[in-house]
Amino acid sequence: TAFGRPLLHHPLLLVVLQWATLVAELLSPVALFLRDRWVYPAVGAMLTFHLFSEATITISFLPHVLCILAFLPLERIALPARLRGGRPTPVSVMAQPTAETRAYGGALGLVAVDEQPP
């Protein structure tokens, strides 16, 4: 790639990066035991590694990258009420059907559960 080609002129750097990759891969299970503020740098390092892999040798590990996100405390993300199991808007608050909408809905075969067909 355009990003990886200039690295070919620095063989010692490539050897150092290969060893760093091996050490990082061997130490990656340590991330399973990290908590609080230490997990963020570990996830950042793993994502950066995969970003550089994609940029230099065009190997994408997208499923693995998505699995790395499991290390983050995703339960702390605020979700909308409807995704948290909040109750939907009560029917009494919703707009009541008019005679016109009932006629149109009846023509389409759409009838509310509590209504009888005409």
Indicate yes or no: pTM above 0.85: no
Q: How many Cβ atoms from other residues are within 10 Å of residue 68's Cβ?
A: 19
CA triple 89-93-99, angle to 5 deg? 120
- Enumerate residues 6+ apart whose C-beta is below 8 A from 57: 1, 4
Q: pLDDT tens digits for 3-30?
A: 888 888 899 999 998 999 899 889 888 8
pLDDT tens digits, one per residue of 54-84: 888 888 888 888 888 888 877 776 666 666 5
Name the DSSP class of 83.
T
Question: In whole angstroms, what is the distance from residue 48 CA to residue 10 CA?
Answer: 21
Residues in CB range of 26: below 8 A, 6 or more apart:
none
